[in-house]
Amino acid sequence: MAFKKPYFSLYEIALLSLCAALIVVLNTTFTLPLNIPGHTGIYWVVPVIIGVGIVKKPGAGTYIGLISGILASLFGLNTLHILNLFIYLALGMTIDLSGLLFFYRLDHPAAGFIAGAAGNLAKMVVNYLLQSFLGIPAVFIIIGIGTASITHFIFGGIGGIIAALVLSRLHKAGVITPDES
């Protein structure tokens, strides 16, 4: 009897799940006193980019987003509760697309920056869409949206560069190899 080979191997599933859990852990343990919109993106995007950069398969980021979204909803990390899932999914899917766009060269700082910034901006957009869906008038949401976009871009980008540097070091140290990844 022939078994269909699973899309993600056990090793990949374990790695992606750990990355997803790490997002939730970072969200609960890190409270940077910056009070700037999107500043949490500096550590939100790191596990997703590392996961996508190691596994290098379409859907890796989406899987991380799905698992971390479920965990965040269960732990009640945000006032949006179950709708958190969409925010985390948007972040993961965007980084997935960035991985595809850049041939999974997410260890390159420029690619990491764009992946992180795009992921953090996607998170912001979905958050605003959900707020709008929940009945908050558009005029309230767009107050300061320009500044919020720029800060999401910068912090997500910085997180992306951090992830790219980590990936690069892992490659150089031989912890992950091109074959394995």
Binding site for other proteins (CB under 8 A): 31, 33, 35, 78-80, 98, 101-103, 105, 108, 110-111, 114, 117-118, 121, 131, 135-140, 142-150, 153
Collapse the DSSP code of 58 into the 3-class scheme (helix H, G, I; strand E, B; otherwise coil) and give the result.
Answer: coil
> Is-contact 163 49, C-beta < 8 A?
yes
CB of 9 to other proteins, least distance (A): 27
C-alpha to C-alpha distance for 5 and 3, rounded to whole angstroms:
6
Comparing CB distances to other proteins, the nearer of 105 and 171 is 105
Comparing CB distances to other proteins, the nearer of 60 and 114 is 114
What angle do helix axes 41-55 and 145-173 make, rounded to 10 degrees? 40
CB of 57 to other proteins, least distance (A): 19
Comparing CB distances to other proteins, the nearer of 111 and 167 is 111
Contacting residues for 17 by C-beta, under 8 A, at least 6 apart? 67
CB of 114 to other proteins, least distance (A): 5
